[in-house]
Structure 1
């Protein structure tokens, strides 16, 4: 029997198991998780490298495995990552970017320290191979038809899935291959807290995405019609698979119980599932149907199948055992902490969550996508005034939330300075995308090597 599959005569998964998975027993403290995606590019061209070329991504992982005392992560026999001694992981994304996922930590201060140390070490190891770790929210110098896909069985399954959606999946390659993000994951200890945090994180996400927009279209031979975009990444996501992205975001905003959350997420079919050392395509029918009837091959789903299924949804906040923020663009290395600091400050303290709820009390479901659309645009006057003004108030509330954590000793005082860039972006209505575009056409003189030099993780 293949790994992750059980026959009909074994105890099978029940719907209540799906509900309980959001709050596993034994969770007694609230921890913080950080994920950072970085491109692996050549410093002169800014283009990603192939898995198996000399000095490519496999060579980097092999070198890291030798030097960082990690355990290999294999898929279909290929090395695609490593588990580090402190519980963090480094894994390849489908198009060769590398993702750092921290072990849960009690504070953002500690989580960011570990992330910076690890990524700086990876950058140091990558340099002799002729590789740089590119931060930000995009890989601007890779063409959609030249994406360097990694040898993962999931990759081709996902590409076929998006191709089968027609126009709704047309940008699947761009989403999987050309975008980068930074994400924060938060815990909850009971149902009320989980749902409260979910709604707050969903509500603030489009406003924060507006002031964090960081993926402008650079004039590298693309159509001029995209040149006013502040966030190509959000533009891509808004136009792909609505059932798993923007429409799902709206549905989650209305959820009022964990059972309803499980129903909403189990309405969708699996795209892929684990089998042996790799993955196979899912099947027609919702996950809830699979729970009742089993898979077409006569096996029954497990809790690991459910966890795999939850990785195949991409709303603005992904609900799992933690709540994972996903909407805003990744930021430059010098601003690595601003995104997690904003979300943590707004969602972790109950008193601040109440103030956020009061501030956004009139926000309706349909407004979430409209604000996201506006956040992806860039007009001559910057961020639209109503969005900018609300974002400015949210930055002030985030400051209150972080200050409370500093006061009770959870965070170091230095965490308050992480919000400085956000204060400026909100006050001026000018997201970092504008400065990035100005640097590209100004001092960087449209040279990819200068873009990479400015945006790469430092080697020391």
Structure 2
């Protein structure tokens, strides 16, 4: 398709979105994007230098098809393309994290291992024209946008959509599991020197910036996602002028209907899809966005648990049943984490289900112990609060 072509009808946009956002097939691969905040090793309150950060990691190219990128707040993101199995993913990512951490340390910096900056107020470090346009749009809506862009870091498992007949259940499950796993791995209670009262201040900020209504689930996830994407207000529209701003509330569907001076193209639609940040985003795979960044090697536990709970239809059904009592408790999960007794009661059997599935699936004992140990430390920490 020539993506510079104009979109004439809503149906054309819906068909295009449905065709690119879910790639169904055998559920064999899993990937991850690991975003980390960066601090000066000796003076973590000191503003980060864009020049210093770029000099340290700007030219680094990871192996195995991954990439390293820098975010507007100076975040470093390692994206590892999906691998054939958790053991291979662990091996690939572990080696690459060690290389990135070595580069960071040699540059006098360190990775925070947290979901929000505990030391500094939001401050722009780097900015493309796209990021400037996003920041301006967020600023018109909420102060949370500045926090999200410059002060937060997330862990994003990349999970397969699965066979066509299993897509609806897997898509629903990855949402249903959200509050429980968000609570289990909440890791952002302090921002800019202040205890916020939230286990995941990062997710509190996301909730404060929500740009659409109910989550896009149902018997036809592709159609539901297309409808959702077209009704979310535009953040900006690219153009030759200095300003990319658009009137508040204009959606992509409105644009197709003539709300803006020119017609949208498929390139415009691709750009819009990249500005959607719901808890789960389909980009061929299922990109989970509700988890806080984790310290060091702790990234593996949430990725392994999610992968195991989506491992086969029977486990998906069992996981959804266990998660159902807390499936809509996003606010409580973000605020209280595992100190909420109801959420903790749902998390425990979900973890047991996942560990059993990982054991049956042949995950090596050392990696199984790593996952179990990370989870146990979370529960111990919650009981100490």
Q: TM-score, normalised by structure 2?
A: 0.86
What's the CA shift string for 1:395-453, capped at 9, x where partnerless? Answer: 011112222321xxxx444332232245425755717xx68xxxxxxxxxxxxxxxxxx
- Aligned mates of 2:228, 2:254 — CA distance in 1: 13
Tell me how many residue pairs correspond in the alignment. Answer: 379
- Aligned mates of 1:87, 1:282 — CA distance in 2: 36
- Aligned mates of 1:23, 1:334 — CA distance in 2: 29
What's the CA shift string for 1:234-275, capped at 9, x where partnerless? Answer: 2222222x224xx4xx33245644212211221123324566
In structure 2, the CA distance between the partners of 1:202 and 1:128, relative to structure 1 (3 Å rule), is same
In structure 2, the CA distance between the partners of 1:253 and 1:127, relative to structure 1 (3 Å rule), is same
- Aligned mates of 1:219, 1:301 — CA distance in 2: 41
- Aligned mates of 1:219, 1:57 — CA distance in 2: 20
The alpha carbon displacement at 1:98 in A equals 0.9
Q: Residue 150 of structure 2 corresponds to which residue in structure 1?
A: 177
Check if 1:57 corresponds to 2:48. no
In structure 2, the CA distance between the partners of 1:195 and 1:383, relative to structure 1 (3 Å rule), is same
Aligned alpha-carbon RMSD (Å): 3.1
- Give yes or no for contact 2:250–2:259 (8 Å, CA) kept in 1: no
In structure 2, the CA distance between the partners of 1:124 and 1:286, relative to structure 1 (3 Å rule), is same
Q: Residue 449 of structure 1 corresponds to which residue in structure 2?
A: none
- Residue 372 (structure 1) aligned to one of 312, 330, 341: 330
- Give yes or no for contact 2:120–2:192 (8 Å, CA) kept in 1: no
Q: Residue 207 of structure 1 corresponds to which residue in structure 2?
A: 180
Q: Report matched runs for 1:301-320 at 5 Å.
A: 301-302=265-266, 304-320=267-283
Q: Does the residue aligned with 2:111 lie in a helix, a strand or coil?
A: strand
Check if 1:158 corresponds to 2:134. yes
The alpha carbon displacement at 1:142 in A equals 1.3
- Residue 101 (structure 2) aligned to one of 123, 136, 141: 123
Q: Does the residue aligned with 2:339 lie in a helix, a strand or coil?
A: coil
- Give yes or no for contact 1:191–1:257 (8 Å, CA) kept in 2: no
- Uncovered stretches (5+) of structure 1, i.e. residues with no partner: 71-83, 436-460
Q: Residue 250 of structure 2 corresponds to which residue in structure 1?
A: 285
Check if 1:343 corresponds to 2:298. no
What's the CA shift string for 1:157-203, capped at 9, x where partnerless? Answer: 112111212xxx12111111111111101112444322211111111
The alpha carbon displacement at 1:59 in A equals 1.2
What's the CA shift string for 1:123-182, capped at 9, x where partnerless? Answer: 2223332222222212211113xx1331311222112111212xxx12111111111111
Q: Report matched runs for 1:254-293 at 5 Å.
A: 254=218, 256-272=220-236, 280-281=244-245, 285-291=250-256
In structure 2, the CA distance between the partners of 1:20 and 1:138, relative to structure 1 (3 Å rule), is same
Check if 1:229 corresponds to 2:202. no
- Residue 238 (structure 1) aligned to one of 207, 219, 231: 207
Q: TM-score, normalised by structure 1?
A: 0.73
In structure 2, the CA distance between the partners of 1:428 and 1:24, relative to structure 1 (3 Å rule), is closer
- Aligned mates of 2:177, 2:250 — CA distance in 1: 33
The alpha carbon displacement at 1:213 in A equals 1.5
In structure 2, the CA distance between the partners of 1:29 and 1:286, relative to structure 1 (3 Å rule), is same
- Aligned mates of 2:170, 2:382 — CA distance in 1: 28
- Aligned mates of 2:112, 2:172 — CA distance in 1: 32
- Residue 327 (structure 1) aligned to one of 290, 296, 299: 290
Q: Does the residue aligned with 2:216 lie in a helix, a strand or coil?
A: helix
The alpha carbon displacement at 1:99 in A equals 0.5
In structure 2, the CA distance between the partners of 1:193 and 1:206, relative to structure 1 (3 Å rule), is same
The alpha carbon displacement at 1:86 in A equals 2.4
